[in-house]
Amino acid sequence: MIGLISATAAGAAARDRLAAAWPERTRVYEGPVGDAVRAAFAECEQLVCFLATGAVVRLLAPLLADKATDPGVVCVDEGGRFAVSLVGGHGGGANELAGEVGELLGATPVVTTATDAVGLPGLDTLGMPVEGDVAGVSRALLDGEPVALDAESAWPLPPLRAAAEGSYVIRVSDRLVEPAPHEVVLRPRSIVVGVGASKGASVDEVLELVEGALRDAGLSARSLAELATVDAKAAEPGIVEAAARLGVPLVTYSAEELAKVEVPNPSDAPLAAVGTPSVAEAAALVRGGELLVPKRKSARADGHASMATCAVVRRPGRGRLAVVGLGPGARDLVTPRATAELRRASVLVGLDQYVDQIRDLLRPGTLVLESGLGAEEERARTAVAEARKGQAVALIGSGDAGVYAMASPALAEASDDIDVIGVPGVTAALAAGAILGAPLGHDHVSISLSDLHTPWEVIERRVRAAAEADLVVTFYNPRSRGRDWQLPKALAILAGHREPGTPVGVVRNASRPDESSRLTTLASLDPATVDMMTVVTVGNTATREIAGRMVTPRGYRWQTSEEGAK
Ligand code: SAH
């Protein structure tokens, strides 16, 4: 919950905007500000104070305890110009909150945490538990001192600007190691514990067994990713509560699926009870990995009838492939999610001209693998190969990376041993549509006129179908130096079904510095003015030019129908 505190009318107005935008996330504290701040500090994970930083500092000072547990606090000034991350920048999420508040109120986020300011990820923001000398190692990273990365297994980390050797060390380990001086240990979520339990087994019995198994195997409980069991035990209180206390999800599988897993220690008891010869080992192994602790049972001295079993598996790090659309060109049409994925990646793969577009967004130390036009297959293969090594990879494309772009060749190569994250982008047809007016107001289609990978007969068949179906058509790859007869041919097919005066929008370099657009008609379009930086949008039989804009009505009955009122 985010506690909101204000003192003045302007503050209250800004406060109400936040409260209205995030009704589920926020709670307004009224009354004297001192009492309000103290109450919110005690009850909320985060605070937004519409007060001067000085006032807030004085009120908070006696309340602050520990940066790992204190709420994150953001201050917004009276003019609503700045959202200042005051305390709890990382642990309390104040840096991120300052960004969110800034976006909502149109205020500039002010973040003074060093790692954020220079574009390095904070070691405590990687989504992995971290132990040891976080402050010292962060400072060394910032000062450019050599910091060694010692990863016991591959894990998809963001770029940490780390070297092979150094007097400071970032260790990635799921083993029960104590961080040395000048060292941090990052805990990858690599360990899965499969559990089984007879009805009524207590949470203590399950917990003792799991924790004992991890300890004996020399593994850190902080690297635990999940507990796993069979569906029939999904609501077994001892197991459910054990997962909750360990702070990990409980994942369950069907007996049928578990019965197929080959395990070293099958037995008859679970087969009779739940329909699989193994619960603990099978549930731990079902998604692959290495069995570190075979099935063991709880040993109870008190002669109690209940029983629990567990088995421990280490799963290999899964690489991460983000397929990221950069939008048509303008920086403010790159989505925040795309930016976040670019900064999350330690390897960036893309066409050189697109890399140039976003190079300044990358974190220092990102490995950039750029290549020239035409090397699509190779880029796709490289991106997937890097992800399979366990890296965090971003594969970029202009517009939407799934539209005539890299997503398909990459996913055709990708096996199920990597995670794939798609980030949509503003595709050229939409960017052009917004410039032209509202050409896509009714059913529409995109057709690429490039016959490099598609036979012309196929393209022509689709153009004909679009012509007959009266769809608005946007042509991608409309014309290049060596490929100049396709566009006139396609327009002629459309002209067979539409008036010569049908509006046609031609947009070149949408949202780029040399953007240009023209509104013409089917009869007067000069194909020579069209090139590969261009999309051509042809209206349907209802599309009109109105006040210099291209408008396709929502429907022919739109104005009179009841729906028109909406
Ligand atoms: N993935 C891209 C399309 C790649 S195909 C997207 O979603 O937009 C390349 C074609 O897209 C170009 O030949 C051109 O027709 C069109 N295109 C891409 N960006 C454009 C822009 N900014 N302005 C106009 N057309 C563009």
Cα(494) to ligand 1 centroid in Å equals 21
Q: What is the pLDDT of residue 566?
A: 46
**Cβ of 536 less than 6 Å from ligand 1:** no
- The overall average pLDDT reported for the chain is 92
Residue with tokens 């599309």: 543
pLDDT of 103 above 80: yes
- Going by alpha carbons, the residue nearest to atom 12 of ligand 1 is 477
Cα(510) to ligand 1 centroid in Å equals 9
> In the predicted model, what is the mean pLDDT of residues 65-82?
91
Tens-digit pLDDT profile for residues 345-399: 999 999 999 999 899 899 888 999 988 877 888 999 999 999 999 999 999 999 9
Cα(448) to ligand 1 centroid in Å equals 10
Can you state the angle between helices 53-60 and 33-43, rounded to 10 degrees? 60
Within 10 Å of residue 147's Cβ, how many Cβ atoms?
23
d(C-alpha 336, C-alpha 359), whole Å: 15
Listed in sequence order, the DSSP H helices in 275-362 are 280-285, 336-344, 352-358
370 within 8 A of 355, measured Cβ to Cβ: yes
- DSSP labels, 334-357: S-HHHHHHHHH-SEEEEEHHHHHH
Ligand 1: which of 354, 395, 477, 517 to mutate, judged by most atoms within 8 Å of the beta carbon?
Answer: 477
Element (H, E) at 268: helix 268-274
- The residue among 442 and 166 whose pLDDT is bigger is 442
Ligand 1 atom showing the smallest separation from residue 508 Cα: 24
CA atoms within 13 A on the CB side of 329: 15
**Cβ of 535 less than 6 Å from ligand 1:** yes
Ligand 1: which of 533, 536, 537 to mutate, judged by most atoms within 8 Å of the beta carbon?
Answer: 533
Ligand 1 atom showing the smallest separation from residue 405 Cα: 1
The 3-state secondary structure of 4-27, one letter per residue: EEECCHHHHHHHHHHHHHCCCCEE
Q: Which residues contact 557 (CB under 8 A, 6 or more apart)?
A: none
Cβ density class 174-205: b for 16+ within 10 Å, e for less: beeeebeebbbbbbbbbbbbbbbbbeebbbeb
500 by DSSP, 3-state: which? coil
Give the Å distances, CA to CA, from 254 to 273, 291, 302, 336. Answer: 13, 20, 33, 38
Q: What is the CATH number of domain 2-112?
A: 3.40.50.11220
Cβ density class 300-317: b for 16+ within 10 Å, e for less: eeeeeeebbbbbbbbbeb
Q: Are strands 544-546 and 82-87 parallel, antiparallel or unpaired?
A: unpaired
CATH superfamily of 320-426: Tetrapyrrole methylase, N-terminal domain (3.40.1010.10)
Q: What is the pLDDT of residue 374?
A: 75
> In the predicted model, what is the mean pLDDT of residues 71-94?
92
Cα(476) to ligand 1 centroid in Å equals 6
> In the predicted model, what is the mean pLDDT of residues 107-132?
83
495 within 8 A of 522, measured Cβ to Cβ: yes
- Going by alpha carbons, the residue nearest to atom 16 of ligand 1 is 476
**Cβ of 357 less than 6 Å from ligand 1:** no
> In the predicted model, what is the mean pLDDT of residues 502-519?
97
CATH of 429-551, one of 3.30.950.10, 3.40.50.10860, 1.20.120.350, 3.30.1330.10: 3.30.950.10
pLDDT of 174 above 70: yes
267 within 8 A of 282, measured Cβ to Cβ: no
**Cβ of 435 less than 6 Å from ligand 1:** no
**Cβ of 405 less than 6 Å from ligand 1:** yes
Ligand 1 atom showing the smallest separation from residue 480 Cα: 13
Cα(358) to ligand 1 centroid in Å equals 17
Ligand 1 atom showing the smallest separation from residue 475 Cα: 15
Secondary structure letter of residue 423 according to DSSP:
E
pLDDT of 486 above 50: yes
- Going by alpha carbons, the residue nearest to atom 6 of ligand 1 is 399
**Cβ of 428 less than 6 Å from ligand 1:** yes
**Cβ of 507 less than 6 Å from ligand 1:** yes
Cα(328) to ligand 1 centroid in Å equals 7
d(C-alpha 517, C-alpha 303), whole Å: 83
Reference 252, options 272, 290, 282, 224; nearest CA is: 282
Determine which of 107-111, 169-173, 177-181, 436-440 has the lowest per-residue pLDDT on average.
Answer: 107-111
Tokens standing for residue 308:
């629990």
Cα(545) to ligand 1 centroid in Å equals 24
Q: Where do the domains of the chain lie?
A: 2-112, 123-186, 191-314, 320-426, 429-551
Determine which of 26-40, 133-147, 358-372, 409-423 has the lowest per-residue pLDDT on average.
Answer: 133-147
Global pTM reads 0.75
**Cβ of 476 less than 6 Å from ligand 1:** yes
Strand (E) positions, 137-240?
A: 147-151, 168-172, 183-186, 191-197, 224-230
Tens-digit pLDDT profile for residues 307-329: 899 999 999 889 999 999 999 99
Give the Å distances, CA to CA, from 47 to 26, 41, 44, 124, 385. Answer: 9, 7, 7, 20, 44
Q: What are phi and psi of 444, to 5 degrees?
A: -150, 165
**Cβ of 483 less than 6 Å from ligand 1:** no
Cα(232) to ligand 1 centroid in Å equals 52
Tens-digit pLDDT profile for residues 235-275: 999 999 999 999 999 999 999 999 999 999 999 988 888 99
How long a stretch of residues is the chain? 566
CATH superfamily of 191-314: CobE/GbiG C-terminal domain (3.30.420.180)
- Going by alpha carbons, the residue nearest to atom 2 of ligand 1 is 399
